Amino acid sequence: MTTKDIFITDKNLKYRKLKSNMVLIFCVFASILTVLPLLYIFFYTTASGFTHLSLDFLIQMPKPVGETGGGMANAIVGTLILIGLASVIGIPVGILSGIYVAEYSGGIFSNIVKFVTDVLSGTPSIIIGIFAYTVIVLTTGSFSALSGGFALGIIMIPTVTRITEEMLKLVPQSIREASLALGISRWRTTLNIVLKTALPGITTGILLAIARIAGETAPLLFTSFGNQFFSLSLDEPIASLPIQIYNYAKSPYTDWHQQAWAGAMVLVLLVFIINLIVRFFTKNKFSSDV
């Protein structure tokens, strides 16, 4: 048998090549299929939101049904307040547990923290909402901004913990050694040297966490509840963009639907811009050390 014969005898080859190409074409097709809804959602939301977005939308209060115009100023402010509250709870706890897991790893307790963080990040947000409800709403007796912020804060924790841990692990060991070799204590090293080096990365992680909670709806349904009026107090129900969108979208009024589209666009743009910023800043991360 000559070499030539070997090639000719593989009668399957044509079939195999065809199969290979079919699968590869499917992969391309799948990618297009995945990206399409995104582009569709993005452009649909922007297009329908843009026509209804105006200055009024941003600074005016909601008008009663039947009257045109009005805006979601209360919801925007409410969302900002909720994000603020959530950050006060979620960021310090998240960073501290991230430091604990990354810098003091090995112990049983740090593994427990890691496991709990993983579980927490997979827990449906509505469960967190129930938790915030039983802890705060049941004890204080009313829906409040505080309970909403508490729920969102807990949702933030795993994201912040995870990103802190990963960023701290990217800091080269030599930096830690340099600091310790100068006689700088362990916690000073962690706080002033290591954390400072990892700060840009952690900041982007926090931004991502904020982008996530800004759109959270489910846990707010029965914590911050929603409010048609302007409110700044923390122990009363407060409006928020996602809830307002939800309520308006379910309503039968076209005018409210349009308002909801504008709100949806604000949220989508927020998420998009934050992701773009994060992408831009994480591109060159630590490239100078490697």
Partner 1 sequence: MMEEDFKDDLEEKSEDKFSITTENLSVYFNEKPAIKDINLKVRNKSVTAIIGPSGCGKSTYLRSLNMMHELTPSATVYGSIKINNIDIEEFGVINLRKKVGMVFQKPNPFPTLSIYENVTSGLIYTGNYKKSRLDDIVEKCLTASGLWKEVKDRLKVSAMTLSGGQQQRLCIARTIAVNPDIILMDEPTSALDPISTTNIEELVYNLKKEYTIIIVTHNMQQAARVSDHTAFFYLGRLVEYSKTRTIFTNPKEKLTEEYVTGKFG
Partner 2 sequence: MLDIIYEMFINSYPSRSQFGLSFIFSQDWDPVKDKFGALAFIYGTIVSSIIALIISLPVSLGVAIFLSEMAGKFLKTTIGFLVEILAAIPSIIFGFWGLFVLVPFMRNTVQPFLQSTLGFIPIFSGTNIGTGMLTAGIILAIMITPIISAISRDVIKAIPNSQREAAYALGATRWEAIRMALLNAKSGILGATVLGFGRAVGETMAVTMVIGNRAQISAGLFDPAYSMASVIANEFAEASKTIHVSALIEVGLLLFVVTFIINSLARLLIYTATKKYDTR
Binding site for partner 2 (CB under 8 A): 16-17, 19-21, 23-24, 26-31, 33-35, 37-42, 44-45, 116, 118-120, 122-131, 133-135, 138, 143, 208, 211-212, 214-218, 221-222, 225, 242, 245-246, 249-250, 257, 260-261, 264, 267-268, 271-272, 275, 279
Picked from partner 1, partner 2, none, the partner binding residue 214 (CB below 5 to 8 A depending on kind) is partner 2
Q: State which of residues 192, 233, 272, 279 lies at the interface with partner 1 (CB under 8 A).
A: 192
Q: Which of 270, 229, 264 is nearest to 249 (CA)?
A: 264
Encoded tokens for 220 = 């707010």
How many C-beta atoms lie closer than 10 Å to residue 234's C-beta?
A: 15
Residue 96 binds which of partner 2, partner 1, none (CB < 5-8 A, kind-dependent)? none
Between 196 and 279, CB nearer to partner 2:
279
What is the distance between the alpha carbons of residues 90 and 216, in angstroms, rounded to a whole number?
15
Tell the residue number behind the tokens 């122990």, with chain if given. 235
> Number of helices (H) and strands (E), helices first, in the chain?
13, 0
Alpha carbon of 18 to those of 22, 25, 154, 226: distances in Å? 6, 10, 52, 58
Of 106-125, binders to partner 1 (CB under 8 A) are 106
Q: Give whichever of 31 and 54 is closer to partner 2, judged by the CB atom.
A: 31
Could you say whether residue 189 binds partner 1 (CB under 8 A)?
yes
Q: Residue 202 in contact with residue 156, Cβ under 8 Å? A: no
Choosing from 184, 269, 270, 271, the residue that interacts with partner 1 (CB under 8 A) is 184
> Is residue 233 close enough to count as binding partner 1 by CB under 8 A?
no
| Cα–Cα nearest to 150, from 160, 137, 141, 163 | 137
Binding of residue 232 to partner 1 (CB under 8 A): no
Residues 159-178 that bind partner 1 (CB under 8 A): 172, 174-178
Residue type, 281: F
C-alpha to C-alpha distances, 95 to 29, 85, 183, nearest whole angstrom: 41, 16, 25
188 binds, among partner 1, partner 2, none (CB under 5 to 8 A by kind): partner 1
Work out how close the CB of 270 gets to partner 2 at its nearest, in angstroms, rounded to a whole number.
9
Distance of CA 102 to the CA centre of its chain: 22
152 three-state secondary structure: helix
Q: How far is the CB of 166 from partner 1 (least distance, A)?
A: 17
Contact partner at residue 193 from partner 1, partner 2, none, CB < 5 to 8 Å by partner kind:
partner 1
**Chain positions contacting partner 1, by CB under 8 A:** 106, 172, 174-185, 188-189, 192-193, 196-197, 199, 288-289
